[in-house]
Structure 1
């Protein structure tokens, strides 16, 4: 059971180091620590006591101390595991912040746990099983139901996958623990089945570690590529290169709308309202070029952020409208579940969304469906841009954020800087950007902005 102790406590500590202020992080870390306490109790009983006895080091004080430590560790596991699991499932549930009197829940749910200390266990039993099972079984079953309900209710595909990994890591282990720690001892007198928990915990650790490398787990992400990418961006992505890329996109939009206005006028089918709208797009695009030029302080510096209150929904709508001429044959589906109020650099976020939308349109030369969604959770605002194009291979996906890497070979004025620039800007906004794609199944881009880490207006970052 030593690996159970080390594995669970290590994961718990790493999760706390990622974000101690998040309630979900604190509670899931508590699950790891309470579960690991059971491993500590087993290590003391099975390994440490025999080892010290064989070497003649078991004095009476040492025996008493280790005995008390074993008992306390065992009780922490038996009593703490159901409680911390249910509390995690509650705070992890969508819209938990809207629950009334939620601040009382931890204290109310703690009452049955504390009352367990008033009951005497039967001879040879570590805890009063019949009483503890009466509250521990509903706690674990309730937590499992809440996690499964949260998974089925989640509509955002990126967040849904995160919840799926959480369910995979927590539900099998806690369900197995429900039987081995409580039900089997209470109703069948089988007290040693808890030793098989190690196999299920090994699966849990594999899920957490595996998902942490690829996608991240509860904020824990073991990332080597992103660190290399950050260094590469600072070394070779200069302000001039980024400006060139931005101007290329905007000049393309001006040309498309100018041709559209000319064609409408020549055909005599120009509508005054639509004509004025097209001219507004051209003027806004030229203003965007001017703003981007003014942000560049030299040929070797990156552009700075100029922060202002904005609404992501408005920015996305403007970008979709500006790209209308390149969306021929593409069905655009926009769903904004919130306005996306935040503080950010409007011009550079517009550039990010324009890049991603343009990539999505170019991935569907024969037409398709472009889905743009703006949703929010209690901690973040999520932008999802999804196309039904040809998708990318795993090899392409690994390099997609690398500066100067491009899959659009042969196209003029394509510098391969689009997504590396987008990644850089989103990072400056304290956000995250992830891309998921499979050949033949399209591509989804997820951009998250944290709610609690708003940058103050007036502060400029270089």
Structure 2
């Protein structure tokens, strides 16, 4: 059991040192520490006490102190493991940051744990199994369910792989512990199966170590220098490409509206009011380029939100107006049932909606119908952009949010960063983005934003 203690506590320490500010890191480290405490109890009872007694080193003080420490470590494992595991699964679940009552969840889930201290265990039993099993089993099963659901729900394949690794590391070990620590002792009075936990924990440690070398695990990357170099290169490349993507879109608008003004002037059909509107679009596009240059910061420092009160219906109309020359031959249906405000970064949200609208238009080169809806639920503002294009296959839909992946082959100016960038910006607004598409049935992009003012942008998972 000593290797279990060393392995779990070392992983827990490395994770917490790597990224102490992230909630998910703190909770998964807590799992390692509480699980390792069970191993420490076994080491004290099976190895340390007999060793000291056999050598004649067992003093009166140690004879009193060690059993107390053993019992404390055992209780920390029995009571703390289900709690810390469920809390990790809860905070790791996508959209947890949007839960309105999330600050109360840790305290509510802690109540059954604390009540366990009020029950006396039966003779020869380390804990009151009849009560503890009543809450520990649902905690563990719910945690496993949340991890699996989070993996299936994740649309970004890179993040999905990270979630798969995390689930593979945590779920089997906790599922096995459910039987050995709670169900078998309670229902069958079989108390020694916990010793086999060491083999499952060895598998868990192997998954963590292998994934840390190859992909990184919860922010832990063993080949640190290679990770930093790779991250820097990717950050510079990604930032430059995102900026190029934004400039490409806005330069296209400037050129389209410039050609429109020129053709109307040459034909003598120029109307002063229309010219003013077109010039405003050109000025807005050039201002957007200027804003994006100073907002991206090469992407090496990440994108920072500058929140303000925004009227989403008004912003969506503005995005459509700037794309109006490219909408020729496309029927546009606008439905705005929400006309209130939201807290958002105007520049970045406009970039997101312009990217999604552009994708929808490019999916209908021969014309079609573009539907734009803005609705609300009790707690969310929902933007939907739907096209009647060819739709996407399942394998395309699975990778659509991946950086540098694109379904638009053969286009020199396509960087494959549009939807990946949108995914990032929407998440920073504490929102969600999802895509529904089937071959021959078009594509719908849904973006949901909280009505409440979002918190400051947090550093994302993996």
- Specify the TM-score bucket, using the shorter chain as the normaliser: 0.5 to 0.7
Once residues 56 and 434 of structure 2 are traced to their aligned partners in structure 1, the CA distance between those partners, rounded to angstroms, is: 57
Q: Which residue in the other structure is 1:105 paired with?
A: 108
3-state DSSP class of the match of 1:191? coil
3-state DSSP class of the match of 1:97? coil
Q: Which residue in the other structure is 1:82 paired with?
A: 82
- Per-residue deviation, 1:37: 0.7
- Label 1:108 to 1:331 Cα distance change in 2 as closer, same or farther (>3 A): farther
TM-score relative to the length of structure 2: 0.60
- Label 1:149 to 1:361 Cα distance change in 2 as closer, same or farther (>3 A): same
Are 2:430 and 2:454, in contact at CA under 8 Å, matched by a contact in 1?
no
- Per-residue deviation, 1:180: 0.8
- Per-residue deviation, 1:343: 5.4
- Label 1:175 to 1:65 Cα distance change in 2 as closer, same or farther (>3 A): same
- Per-residue deviation, 1:141: 1.6
- Label 1:152 to 1:183 Cα distance change in 2 as closer, same or farther (>3 A): closer
Once residues 371 and 171 of structure 2 are traced to their aligned partners in structure 1, the CA distance between those partners, rounded to angstroms, is: 32
RMSD after superposition? 6.5
Q: Which residue in the other structure is 2:308 paired with?
A: 309
Q: Which moved more, 1:304-313 or 1:39-48?
A: 304-313
- Label 1:192 to 1:242 Cα distance change in 2 as closer, same or farther (>3 A): closer
Gaps of 5+ in 2: 266-270
- Label 1:225 to 1:407 Cα distance change in 2 as closer, same or farther (>3 A): farther
- Label 1:120 to 1:90 Cα distance change in 2 as closer, same or farther (>3 A): same
- Label 1:232 to 1:452 Cα distance change in 2 as closer, same or farther (>3 A): same
- Label 1:434 to 1:100 Cα distance change in 2 as closer, same or farther (>3 A): closer
Are 1:370 and 1:388, in contact at CA under 8 Å, matched by a contact in 2?
no
Q: Which residue in the other structure is 1:192 paired with?
A: 192
3-state DSSP class of the match of 2:100? helix
- Label 1:340 to 1:227 Cα distance change in 2 as closer, same or farther (>3 A): farther
Structure 2 residue aligned with 1:287, among 284, 287, 304?
284
Once residues 57 and 331 of structure 2 are traced to their aligned partners in structure 1, the CA distance between those partners, rounded to angstroms, is: 76
Are 2:329 and 2:366, in contact at CA under 8 Å, matched by a contact in 1?
yes
Q: Which residue in the other structure is 2:132 paired with?
A: 135
Equivalent residue runs for 1:110-189 within 5 Å: 110-116=113-119, 119-123=120-124, 125=125, 127-128=126-127, 131-145=128-142, 148=145, 157-158=154-155, 161=160, 169-189=169-189
3-state DSSP class of the match of 1:196? helix
Are 1:368 and 1:389, in contact at CA under 8 Å, matched by a contact in 2?
no
Are 2:403 and 2:417, in contact at CA under 8 Å, matched by a contact in 1?
no
Once residues 40 and 399 of structure 1 are traced to their aligned partners in structure 2, the CA distance between those partners, rounded to angstroms, is: 44
Q: Which residue in the other structure is 2:392 paired with?
A: 388
Q: Which residue in the other structure is 2:37 paired with?
A: 37
3-state DSSP class of the match of 2:179? helix
Q: Which residue in the other structure is 1:458 paired with?
A: none
Q: Which residue in the other structure is 2:268 paired with?
A: none
3-state DSSP class of the match of 1:6? helix
- Per-residue deviation, 1:181: 1.2
Are 2:291 and 2:347, in contact at CA under 8 Å, matched by a contact in 1?
no
Once residues 14 and 335 of structure 1 are traced to their aligned partners in structure 2, the CA distance between those partners, rounded to angstroms, is: 51
- Per-residue deviation, 1:164: 6.9
Gaps of 5+ in 1: 266-271, 456-462
3-state DSSP class of the match of 2:112? helix
- Label 1:287 to 1:329 Cα distance change in 2 as closer, same or farther (>3 A): closer
Which deviations, in whole Å up to 9, do the C-alpha atoms of 1:129-152 show, x marking residues without a partner?
xx3332334332245236637966
- Label 1:143 to 1:255 Cα distance change in 2 as closer, same or farther (>3 A): same
- Per-residue deviation, 1:194: 0.9
3-state DSSP class of the match of 2:456? coil
Q: Which residue in the other structure is 1:460 paired with?
A: none
TM-score relative to the length of structure 1: 0.60
Which deviations, in whole Å up to 9, do the C-alpha atoms of 1:179-206 show, x marking residues without a partner?
2112222332322211222333345456
Once residues 228 and 322 of structure 1 are traced to their aligned partners in structure 2, the CA distance between those partners, rounded to angstroms, is: 37
- Label 1:111 to 1:434 Cα distance change in 2 as closer, same or farther (>3 A): closer
Are 1:382 and 1:448, in contact at CA under 8 Å, matched by a contact in 2?
yes
- Per-residue deviation, 1:357: 6.0
